[in-house]
Amino acid sequence: MAKLTGEKGDPAGAEGLWRELLAGDPGDPDALAGLAEALADQGRPAEAVTLFESAIRDRPADPRIHLSAASFFVELEPPDRRPAAAHFRQAMALGHRPSPFEMERFLGAGR
């Protein structure tokens, strides 16, 4: 529901729904990514970065959070490839097994 709300052009509504989901599971990487996207869509990317920093402090060994952060940074306009690559490398160091698509997306030609 939160994703659909954001896709329908209501990032503020999506933000509220993502926050509700995170209240139940503060480390849910999908909800973190959704909330970060909703914040960025409202012109608040700095809040999204703070959100990821807090999640990483709380769960530093969770590769899913680093992967969500990598996705966030690579999807910014313009993409911020340096932190995207750093989070992706950390996710791999923590055990994430990347696909060839992910390797290209996070470490490919845009480096």
CA angle 92, 77, 86 (to 5 degrees): 20
The string of pLDDT tens digits covering residues 3-44 is: 677 677 898 999 999 999 999 988 788 888 899 889 988 999
Per-residue pLDDT, averaged over 39-66, amounts to: 90
CA atoms within 13 A on the CB side of 70: 21
**Could you report how far apart the first and last alpha carbons of the chain are, in Å?**
34
Query: What domains are there in the chain, each with its CATH number?
Result: 2-107 (1.25.40.10)
